[in-house]
Amino acid sequence: MTLSLELTAREGLARAGVIRTARGEIRTPCFMPVGTRGAVRTLSSADLADLGVQIVLGNTYHLMLKPGAEVIGRLGGLHGFTDWSGHVLTDSGGYQVFSLEPGGNVALDDGGVTFRSTYDGGTHRLTPESAVEIQTLLGADIQMVLDVCAPLPSSREVLRSAVDRTAAWATRARATFLAQERPELSQFGIVQGGTDGPLRQESAERTLAIGFDGYALGGLSVGESRDAMLATLAATLPLLPEHQPRYLMGLGDPLGIVEAVALGIDLFDCVLPTRFARHGTILSGEGRYNLKRAENTSADRPLDDECACPVCARWSRAYLRHLLVVDEPTAPRLLTLHNVWWTLRLVEEVRAAVEGGSLEGVRSRITAAYG
Ligand SMILES: [Zn+2]
């Protein structure tokens, strides 16, 4: 079967729904934690199931280099390799190539991109075709086309070139994907164009003309202002099909989630909740704070008074802060469990608000805490 999206509620431009795939269902809006190298850092697939994670993002760039897509393919894809029965989405590897290998280590041409491995310095190449083949070996339920993500700010010429190349590559990626005849897998196209409205519009039209199972907005949440990002979303989302999933790549801060859903985004991913956790930055209903602050040294209260996560149910800020400052590996793990739980519950709350017509209430509360 091909992927489908049933919209079950709307409030303004915001939508709640259910994505159905051969693997099962994904309730939207939905946050995807990032499992860069085959695990959400410090967690296991059992933890993810306990947290209620529906779909995990895997990074093609890292997995193709270590342990290699063929190894993972032989061991049952990411599902078998990591023993995970939920959904998996993989990126194409392009974003990591451009962000991890700046300057002389990356050579871009019409055929693809050649880069030096961050692990061993070896030379590798990704093409629109090989990115599809690798993601199929990884067994991704949803795979992304190889795109060119221009940094922001970029000149219009750089953005134009990224849009052109992304469109040309998307055509090749779609042909390769369809030729595989794997109807249980899905493929999303990516709209580029920076914060340039007309370029975004053109990129959307060219991506739609090829035709994908869903559409992502790439090249946002890369350092531009929040207002510029939201204006770009507002200008681009109305061009995308109502009844297909819309994925905003790389966004996952609490206020960003609420604002993006309000404009009609269904899916998002971000390393922020997990990266924050490892550095002791805690997400809570009252905003984020640094657990290392002295005031938490003997604080006999949970990370968030309102949180029902397994960490907040048992351990005090004082204990968790102690583990963190003495570098116990348990600390990043427990703080990650809390931050991912908190983010997932926020998204569930946003979904319920869309269903109940009360998104504005959630938005004003999160704006007060995180604005
Ligand atoms: Zn908690």
Which tens digits make up the pLDDT trace of 235-248?
999 999 999 999 99
Residue 103: pLDDT band by 50, 70, 90 thresholds?
low
Query: Would residue 213 show up in a list of annotated catalytic residues for this protein?
Result: no
pLDDT at 214: 98
pLDDT at 100 over 80: no
pLDDT at 104 over 80: no
pLDDT at 99: 78
Distance from the alpha carbon of residue 334 to the mean position of ligand 1, in angstroms: 9
pLDDT at 98: 79
Residue range 57-61: mean pLDDT, rounded? 96
Q: Which residues surround ligand 1, an ion (CB under 5 A)?
A: 307, 309, 312, 338
Distance from the alpha carbon of residue 257 to the mean position of ligand 1, in angstroms: 19
pLDDT at 299: 98
pLDDT at 94: 85
pLDDT at 158 over 60: yes
CA distance 312 to 308: 6
> How many CB atoms lie under 10 A from the CB of residue 359?
23
**Cut 0.75: pTM above it:** yes
Q: pLDDT digits over 3-19, tens only?
A: 999 999 999 999 999 99
Distance from the alpha carbon of residue 297 to the mean position of ligand 1, in angstroms: 18
Query: Would residue 91 show up in a list of annotated catalytic residues for this protein?
Result: yes
Distance from the alpha carbon of residue 63 to the mean position of ligand 1, in angstroms: 30
Q: pLDDT digits over 282-330, tens only?
A: 999 999 999 999 999 999 999 999 999 999 999 999 999 999 999 999 9
According to DSSP, the residues that pair with 216 across neighbouring strands are: 190, 247
Residue 361: pLDDT band by 50, 70, 90 thresholds?
very high
The single residue of 91, 147, 196, 266 carrying the catalytic annotation is 91
Stronger pLDDT, 103 or 34, i.e. the higher one:
34
Report strand pairing: 87-90 vs 142-144.
parallel
CA distances from 101 to 58, 93, 169 (A): 19, 12, 20
pLDDT at 135: 98
pLDDT at 339: 98
Distance from the alpha carbon of residue 280 to the mean position of ligand 1, in angstroms: 13
Q: What percent of the chain has pLDDT over 70?
A: 98
Question: What average pLDDT is seen over the chain?
Answer: 96
Distance from the alpha carbon of residue 289 to the mean position of ligand 1, in angstroms: 13
The single residue of 147, 196, 269, 304 carrying the catalytic annotation is 269
pLDDT at 34: 97
Distance from the alpha carbon of residue 365 to the mean position of ligand 1, in angstroms: 18
pLDDT at 195 over 90: yes
